[in-house]
Amino acid sequence: MTGHHPGRSRRATERKGDVRERSILDTCEALLAQKGYDAMTVGDLAQGAGITRGALYFYFGSKQEVVTALVARTVEHLWERSRATAQAEEPRQAIAAAMQRTVELWNEHGLVMRTAIDLSLTVPEIGELWQHTADLFIEAITAVLERAGIQAGAKPYQAPAMARSLCWMIERTFYHASQESREELRQASATCEHIWLTSAGLIT
């Protein structure tokens, strides 16, 4: 029995820690909407999560670390939703599915996505996260283009270069549309999907 209780206690502590960390990140997302990144403080984060500043520092060393973790959680959701795109059999369906999943996440977490883009040039950890996410999407877009018959290679009109341009076009288009309304985002998604289909030679 003596060997059983410490293990159970550790598991309970880990679960409690997971709940607290999630609460801090959820609070951070809410405060981004209410105050913005610059005005938000560690005290605000602790108060919103129902813990002391000292307790918050047990999980994160700074406001920047909290936001970085929030971005990491969000982009992981983005990639999880779009992971099947590269493996989908039919390019048209793959493109439609990718755009649908992406617009859903921008509707849910557009503020976090815009914050990630805004901070990507000044916060190296966020910049690396965002670039890694872009690289994954470029790889997935490349696979769809190649499956649609676009040639592989390093030339400007071949699949990898086209995929890079499509990825960054989608990012910038969604960034602006998400600040307007869900309808603007829906229309922007439809436009990006049309451009991707055209680039793949699937519509003329």
Residue closest to 59 by CA, chosen among 31, 22, 27: 22
- CB 58, CB 112: distance < 8 Å: no
Confidence band for 78, pLDDT divided at 50, 70 and 90:
confident
Which residues, other chains included, contact 102 with Cβ-Cβ below 8 Å and sequence gap of 6+? 78, 81, 82, 170, 174, 189
Q: How many residues does the chain have?
A: 204
The confidence band for 199, taking pLDDT boundaries of 50, 70 and 90, is very high
Structural domains in the chain, sorted by start: 1-61 (1.10.10.60), 68-204 (1.10.357.10)
Q: How confident is the model at residue 4 (pLDDT cuts 50, 70, 90)?
A: very low
Calpha distance 73→59 (Å, rounded)? 15
Residues 88 and 97: beta-carbon distance below 8 Å: yes
Answering whether pTM is above 0.95, one says: no
